[in-house]
Structure 1
Amino acid sequence: MNWNEEYRRWNEFDALDEALRDQLNAMQGQDEAMEDAFYKNLEFGTGGMRGKLGPGTNRMNIYTVRRAAEGLAYYLENKGNEWLQKGVAVAYDSRYMSQQFAVEVARVLGRHDIPTYVFSSLRPTPELSFAVRHLRAAAGIVITASHNPPEYNGFKVYNEDGGQMPPAQANEVIHYVNQIENELMIPVIDQSSLEAKKLLTWIDDEVDEAYLEQLKTIQLHSLASGKLAEDLSIVFSPLHGTATHLVEKGLQQIGFEHVHVLAEQAKPDPEFSTVASPNPEEHQAFEMAIAKGKEVNADILLATDPDADRLGVAVPTEAGEYTVLTGNQTGALMLDYILSQQQLPDNAIMIKTIVTSEFGRIIAEHYNIDTLDTLTGFKFIGEKIRQFEQSGDHQFMFGYEESYGYLVKDFARDKDAVQAAVLAAEMAAYWKAQGKTLLEALEQLYERHGYFLEGLQSMKMEGKAGAEKIEHIMNDFRTNPLTEAGGLQVIAVEDYSTSTRQYVHDDSTEQIDLPQANVLKFILEDDCWFCLRPSGTEPKIKFYYGVKSGERHMSEARLQSVKASVKERI
């Protein structure tokens, strides 16, 4: 069907949800908006789906949520009755419609006699990952759009190991989702009947307590529970999301007494009313935390995104201001701290993504630790942890990505800002004992290993026209690749859509042992690089940059030059 036919199908559905009917009526005469809402089905990809709230096949609403849940039900039925009986764990964040969507999932799964275990109030994404493992569930779902604007929501799917489904599993679910022809006609059971039949169980404190018990294992150094923990001043903001309870409890468990939670941002708020964007990657999200930090002379500022899988860190400078660390910088500090504070097994390994700084690899080499690269997305890190657990080939030590995602201990299998917040506080206490701030500890790493600097640029391109522009940019860089950038020669081009690496000097090609993805990475001389990747969750194309030299000013100049070359080409 074209978008007009899809719109008519919805408009002529007599039992359409009343709120969606009102929104549909309000769209009359807005052809561009209506086309964008109906020109395709909201894509259910390898990480689930994410989109704007509202009526339409290309929007998040009760019908598209039911379609996704129905596809998961078919997937579990195909795996056998034992899997159905394990049930599905469900969590949700502070966004509009999140709790209702969670109940809609239960209403669909209940029709298939699949029990659901739904948190009675909002919870962090990493706790859902943990809950799947703790409850021995067959799968998990989180209703969240992470740090997207307020008009978005999403549906993330987890496998029985508590990790986001890797491509092979996700493709099976996608197959079943795509077979559903009419999302409006999916049958559901009412909530009271589900509860009476014990097909809907509300979960709460038991999982919290089990998670917090595991969180104690994060502690690496006794300083964290001594006087330094008592003296360390921490400012924490959950950015109107889900992290308040677990982060507060986690810090208290190891002795941190001076934790100043930003009251204005501690209350769940689907409008995220005190920030332009609830994303700790954006420095504006720290404005209130910085003001509070100056007031209480804080040693470290922590901020989590709404579903608490990303952590931002800000630290004081000599001038009395605060600077927000990048995800690469925080990851490097955490990695060095973890590897320096314990006896390391011979088969230890660190995992990062292909767009994460090479700084981590150099730090790992310093401790004689292997590094494994994965595609962008923590599902690939979680998949590798599971493989290592089964094979015994490697012992996972740390995993991270540049977009503020870290995993310290594998009792969760997704990036975990609660774990990261506790580790960051302990790390700040440790370095304070050495007479250093985290910024000075970072400078020490640069002096030892070289000045690795990174950059990220995003271009937002919404709607059908935007998707076409993104496709055009990727195709153009593939067919007419740059031969130099910022005065640095291109050594090789890695095209992950074909899993190939092509060297420029002799035109030779070799295979890359990673799944296929729409990503291009240009390897430049002197350990520099840049990468193009359309976002899998937002209408954006992202440009990643990484440079290195022996001096800060040279790295800064290289970074600006490479960025300028790519921008000029675009």
Structure 2
Amino acid sequence: MRSWKEVYQRWHSFEQLDEQVQLELRKINDTSLLEDAFYKELTFGTGGIRGVLGPGTNRMNVYTVRKVVEGLANYLPYHRVNVKDRGVVIAYDSRYMSKEFALEAARVLSVHGIKAYVFESLRPTPLLSFAVRYLGAACGIMITASHNPPEYNGLKVYNEDGGQITPTESDQIVAAINEIEDELTVPFLNDEELAESGLLHWIGKEIDNAYLERINYISRMDPAKRMQDKDLQIVFTPLHGTSYDLVTSALEQMRFLNVHVVTEQAIPDPDFSTVESPNPEEHQAFALAEELGDKVDADILLGTDPDADRLGVAVKNGYGEFQVLTGNQLGSLLLDYILRHSNPNVYKNAKMIKTVVTTELGRAIADSYHVETLETLTGFKYIGEKIHQFDASGETFIFGFEESYGYLVSGFVRDKDAIQAAIITAEMAYYWKQRGKTLFDALHDLYETHGFYLEGMSSLTLKGKEGAKQISFIMSEIRNMELTNVAGFKMKAVEDYLTSEKLNLEDNSKAPIDLPKENMVKLMLDEKAWVCLRPSGTEPKLKTYYGVCGKNRKDSEEKLAKLKEAMANIMDKIMTVKA
């Protein structure tokens, strides 16, 4: 195995090194930064690569992109039919180097004679998913780093079903990537050669129009009422990303005409200059939307992340202040609204899908309508995979969601879709407004009916080579600890998704977990409480998820706080041992 210094020297001495990469490489004088840039290759996890822009094998640049696409091009002929004719769809968001990386992907594919469909301008991730299915393409590539900071970019691969690639597909693509010895010498066509090849096809508005046509069918309103003008004041922000055109067009065609856009955030901006983070999960992202909402007396605020696969929503609480709903809360509201307006004859065959770290309130709501809940591992790719299985089984997908602000209403897209979610949220808010209630009121009704479920999440960031070792050590220690209780909650079971085994602590019996293997552990506690630990596949983080269900909001908040404190103490003890 080559040392990082050898890899760095290979790049440094490469005569044909891209001028921009070469310039950036010369600027790095810090040895630790050089080591971090070259000590490993970007991990292909969660369906692709993601990292900080810059020179190096552990960075996002033209060479890391070319290597991944070369591996993908070598993989496709053995796992898809008519690859060259069907081609690959490529979309990109508003980040630095996004369009350049999209064209780099097309240049590499063209060497293999594979047609590349590239959007003329930036587009949301869900539209890429839709485009793959609409065009019958062999796969799709999305250039995005979702809601990560401005210095990041990434590349995600979508399969021919329009979903994020499955673990099996990922392993096969990784194997093909690993066969490429030198990322610096991956063949590609230059601009002139690419134009002459006839393999580059630019996509205009055709896909947008087809997508908007399908949006009409997700409505739960009577067709006549759907075409009536609706008295709902909406503030919308795309947070400098890709969703402006599709969200505003979809709202207009559903006759939501009182839409006030946050103009400062309507223009794509790779620096995301008006927010600390372009993440609708974080309340600061709604600051400008709240200001505008107060001016126009808005009923709801809608905010999408840069690639428009996540939606955040804020509504007025009992004090007349805007409150950002959690992903679990909005998902539960949407599920109830959809089931409330679905034909009961559908329930018997219908399936609601959530992840193992998503609120149990969703299951309680689905149970009340006699709809079965299916659980998947964390990540919407698993929800998309389940929907694909329904195509063969005849089961009906009725809704899918995850706690990290991802929702899917209809399977014509096979990934989380903030545009679908924005439209159905507006419709839901209008429905409750007609009945004298806000979404906050409707949420309170759900708690009163099903229980005061409350969730939380904390993350431990440990960067670099040593950080990865520390995260691995913590997970190993958690697996080996013989806990009897956490924060006073009795331990009932331990679900280890790496061994695919559930240990019932009451009788020491074991049961298999019928899900793909993943480095994740879930502690099942009494009183409907739970804790789940999961290292991120794309970031140097260890995420800890929590869930409780109390007698009322105060009781739930107290239980959640105790659970978080107890896990923080356990983490501190483990880190002390490591030190």
Question: TM class by shorter-chain length?
Answer: over 0.9
Q: Are the structure 2 counterparts of residues 225 and 34 from structure 1 closer, same or farther at C-alpha, using a change threshold of 3 Å?
A: farther
| 1:32-79 per-position Cα deviation (integer Å, ceiling 9, x unaligned) | 101100001111124111000000001000000000000110011223
Shift in Å at residue 248 of structure 1?
0.2
Q: How does 1:5-16 map to 2 (within 5 A)?
A: 5-16=6-17
Query: Does structure 2 retain, via aligned residues, the 8 Å contact 1:223–1:430?
Result: no
Distance, in Å, in 2 between the alignment partners of 1:230 and 1:508 is 56
Distance, in Å, in 2 between the alignment partners of 1:481 and 1:73 is 47
Letter in 2 for 1:499: S
Q: How does 1:208-357 map to 2 (within 5 A)?
A: 208-222=208-222, 225=225, 229-344=229-344, 345=346, 346-357=348-359
Distance, in Å, in 2 between the alignment partners of 1:423 and 1:476 is 44
Shift in Å at residue 227 of structure 1?
9.2
Instruction: From 371, 386, 391, give the equivalent of 2:373.
Output: 371
Q: Are the structure 2 counterparts of residues 538 and 225 from structure 1 closer, same or farther at C-alpha, using a change threshold of 3 Å?
A: farther
Distance, in Å, in 1 between the alignment partners of 2:131 and 2:198 is 18
**Residue of structure 1 equivalent to 2:570:** 569
Distance, in Å, in 2 between the alignment partners of 1:305 and 1:225 is 30
**Residue of structure 2 equivalent to 1:187:** 187
Letter in 1 for 2:11: W
Query: Does structure 2 retain, via aligned residues, the 8 Å contact 1:278–1:285?
Result: yes
Q: How does 1:25-174 map to 2 (within 5 A)?
A: 25-28=26-29, 30-79=30-79, 82-174=82-174
1:510 and 2:511 are equivalent in the alignment: yes
**Residue of structure 2 equivalent to 1:546:** 547
**Residue of structure 2 equivalent to 1:520:** 521
Query: Does structure 2 retain, via aligned residues, the 8 Å contact 1:124–1:307?
Result: yes
- Of stretches 339-348 and 260-269 in structure 1, the one that deviates more from structure 2 is 339-348
Unaligned stretches of 5+ residues in structure 1? none
- State the secondary structure of the residue aligned to 2:272: coil
| 1:462-510 per-position Cα deviation (integer Å, ceiling 9, x unaligned) | 1112111211111111111432112101100111010111111222211
Distance, in Å, in 2 between the alignment partners of 1:295 and 1:51 is 39
| 1:72-121 per-position Cα deviation (integer Å, ceiling 9, x unaligned) | 10011223661232100000000000000000000000000000000010
**Residue of structure 2 equivalent to 1:536:** 537
Distance, in Å, in 1 between the alignment partners of 2:381 and 2:482 is 29
Query: Does structure 2 retain, via aligned residues, the 8 Å contact 1:311–1:421?
Result: yes
| 1:6-51 per-position Cα deviation (integer Å, ceiling 9, x unaligned) | 00000010010111111111113x1110110000111112411100
- State the secondary structure of the residue aligned to 1:231: coil
Unaligned stretches of 5+ residues in structure 2? 572-579
Letter in 2 for 1:401: E
Distance, in Å, in 2 between the alignment partners of 1:158 and 1:314 is 31
**Residue of structure 2 equivalent to 1:455:** 456
- State the secondary structure of the residue aligned to 1:410: coil
Distance, in Å, in 2 between the alignment partners of 1:413 and 1:227 is 27
Distance, in Å, in 2 between the alignment partners of 1:378 and 1:46 is 10
**Residue of structure 1 equivalent to 2:427:** 426
| 1:376-396 per-position Cα deviation (integer Å, ceiling 9, x unaligned) | 01110000000011121x100
**Residue of structure 1 equivalent to 2:5:** 4
Letter in 1 for 2:507: D
Shift in Å at residue 190 of structure 1?
1.6
- State the secondary structure of the residue aligned to 1:133: helix
Distance, in Å, in 2 between the alignment partners of 1:417 and 1:226 is 20
Shift in Å at residue 228 of structure 1?
8.0
Distance, in Å, in 1 between the alignment partners of 2:45 and 2:56 is 18
1:388 and 2:390 are equivalent in the alignment: yes
Query: Does structure 1 retain, via aligned residues, the 8 Å contact 2:227–2:254?
Result: no
Q: How does 1:491-502 map to 2 (within 5 A)?
A: 491-502=492-503
Letter in 2 for 1:24: L
Distance, in Å, in 2 between the alignment partners of 1:325 and 1:224 is 31
Q: Are the structure 2 counterparts of residues 225 and 12 from structure 1 closer, same or farther at C-alpha, using a change threshold of 3 Å?
A: farther
Query: Does structure 2 retain, via aligned residues, the 8 Å contact 1:107–1:190?
Result: yes
Shift in Å at residue 194 of structure 1?
2.1
**Residue of structure 1 equivalent to 2:363:** 361
Q: Are the structure 2 counterparts of residues 228 and 566 from structure 1 closer, same or farther at C-alpha, using a change threshold of 3 Å?
A: farther
Distance, in Å, in 2 between the alignment partners of 1:317 and 1:104 is 48
- Of stretches 431-440 and 543-552 in structure 1, the one that deviates more from structure 2 is 543-552
Query: Does structure 1 retain, via aligned residues, the 8 Å contact 2:230–2:430?
Result: no
**Residue of structure 2 equivalent to 1:465:** 466
Distance, in Å, in 1 between the alignment partners of 2:481 and 2:309 is 37
- State the secondary structure of the residue aligned to 2:230: helix
Query: Does structure 2 retain, via aligned residues, the 8 Å contact 1:37–1:55?
Result: yes
Q: Are the structure 2 counterparts of residues 512 and 309 from structure 1 closer, same or farther at C-alpha, using a change threshold of 3 Å?
A: same
Letter in 1 for 2:530: W
Query: Does structure 2 retain, via aligned residues, the 8 Å contact 1:124–1:308?
Result: yes
Distance, in Å, in 2 between the alignment partners of 1:260 and 1:233 is 8
Distance, in Å, in 1 between the alignment partners of 2:213 and 2:524 is 44
Q: Are the structure 2 counterparts of residues 223 and 139 from structure 1 closer, same or farther at C-alpha, using a change threshold of 3 Å?
A: closer
Q: Are the structure 2 counterparts of residues 462 and 159 from structure 1 closer, same or farther at C-alpha, using a change threshold of 3 Å?
A: same
Query: Does structure 2 retain, via aligned residues, the 8 Å contact 1:452–1:555?
Result: yes
Distance, in Å, in 2 between the alignment partners of 1:537 and 1:483 is 32
Query: Does structure 2 retain, via aligned residues, the 8 Å contact 1:224–1:429?
Result: no
- State the secondary structure of the residue aligned to 2:82: helix
**Residue of structure 1 equivalent to 2:490:** 489
Distance, in Å, in 2 between the alignment partners of 1:45 and 1:354 is 19
- Of stretches 80-89 and 380-389 in structure 1, the one that deviates more from structure 2 is 80-89
- State the secondary structure of the residue aligned to 1:230: coil
Query: Does structure 2 retain, via aligned residues, the 8 Å contact 1:398–1:408?
Result: yes
Query: Does structure 1 retain, via aligned residues, the 8 Å contact 2:241–2:269?
Result: yes
| 1:292-333 per-position Cα deviation (integer Å, ceiling 9, x unaligned) | 100100000000000000000000123221000000000000
Query: Does structure 2 retain, via aligned residues, the 8 Å contact 1:228–1:429?
Result: no
| 1:118-139 per-position Cα deviation (integer Å, ceiling 9, x unaligned) | 0010000000000000000000
Distance, in Å, in 2 between the alignment partners of 1:33 and 1:224 is 61
1:176 and 2:176 are equivalent in the alignment: yes
Identity of aligned residues (%): 56
Runs of 4+ in 1 over 6 A off after TM superposition: none
- TM-score normalized with structure 2 length: 0.96
Distance, in Å, in 2 between the alignment partners of 1:217 and 1:190 is 43
Q: Are the structure 2 counterparts of residues 46 and 555 from structure 1 closer, same or farther at C-alpha, using a change threshold of 3 Å?
A: closer
